[in-house]
A and B are shown apart, each in its own frame.
Chain A
Amino acid sequence: SQTIHQWPATLVQPVGSPLSLECTVEGTSNPNLYWYRQAAGRGLQLLFYSVGIGQISSEVPQNLSASRPQDRQFILSSKKLLLSDSGFYLCAWSVEGWETQYFGPGTRLLVL
């Protein structure tokens, strides 16, 4: 069976510090991978998606970036965090033809 992991679960960072959130998927090959952000009281915003290693597409220009160094690994980064980066970050995966996305447990980020 397939599983998706995210870490850390919770993170408190000062403004201007760097960020690295990691997501890994097990039990499937060549998944599509996604990063979403959910701000407090808001809906889900798609940030990045990837259809393969090294292939990243950005939905919203901002100070975040994403990388996919391995087939089942997806990393969300920032060089300098802003207060507005606070939120709940969700990673998800899908496989072409399945028409369903599966979500990880999320990382709660608070920027102070």
Chain B
Amino acid sequence: GNSVTQMEGPVTLSEEAFLTINCTYTATGYPSLFWYVQYPGEGLQLLLKATKADDKGSNKGFEATYRKETTSFHLEKGSVQVSDSAVYFCALMNRGSTLGRLYFGRGTQLTVWP
């Protein structure tokens, strides 16, 4: 089946620290991979995505590389800010899916202290 596993949170970091949030997946097809971010009290926003192996998605200083050999899509940022405090969701979508269904991980809460 299709599933996404994220590292358990919460993650607490000081400003300017390095961030890694691990994400691994299983998929029945050849998926596209996503990271969504949810700021407090808001809906989800697409942060970045990658559609094929070895692609790197990037946005707002965040990066994630599609690793087919390890079925992973880990999220990284070199220097986090207080404004990055949010919940981060890893997700997959099987390519060519008419429905466009997303399969989400459980989310990882990130808190950044000044």
A-B Cβ contacts below 8 A, count: 54
What is the CA–CA distance of A75 and B34 in the complex, to the nearest angstrom? 27
- Which residues from chain B contact A46 at a C-beta distance below 8 Å? 101-102
- Contact partner of A49 (CB less than 8 A), chosen from B51, B101, B104, B107, is B101
Number of B residues with CB within 8 Å of any CB on chain A = 24
Is there an interface contact between A99 and B101, defined as CB atoms closer than 8 Å?
no
| Distance of A108 Cα from B42 Cα, bound (Å) | 10
- In the complex, what's the smallest C-beta–C-beta distance from A30 to chain B, in angstroms? 12
Cα–Cα, bound, A51→B32 (Å)? 20
Docked complex Cα distance between A92 and B43 (Å): 9
Bitwise interface map of A from 74 to 112 toward B, beta carbon under 8 Å scored 1, else 0: 000000000000000010101110111111111010000
Of B11-19, B77-85, B91-99, the one touching chain A: B91-99
Nearest chain A CB to B20 CB, angstrom units: 20
Which residues on the A side are within 8 Å of B99 (C-beta)?
32, 49, 51
Confirm or deny: A44 has a beta carbon within 8 angstroms of a beta carbon on chain B: yes
Residues of chain A with a CB closer than 8 A to B67's CB: none
A47 to B51, CA, bound (A): 26
Those 9 A-B pairs whose CB atoms lie nearest each other, nearest first = A43-B106, A94-B100, A103-B43, A103-B44, A106-B43, A44-B104, A105-B43, A99-B32, A32-B100
Residues in chain B within 8 A of chain A (CB atoms): 32, 34, 36, 41-46, 49, 51, 89, 93, 95, 97-102, 104-107
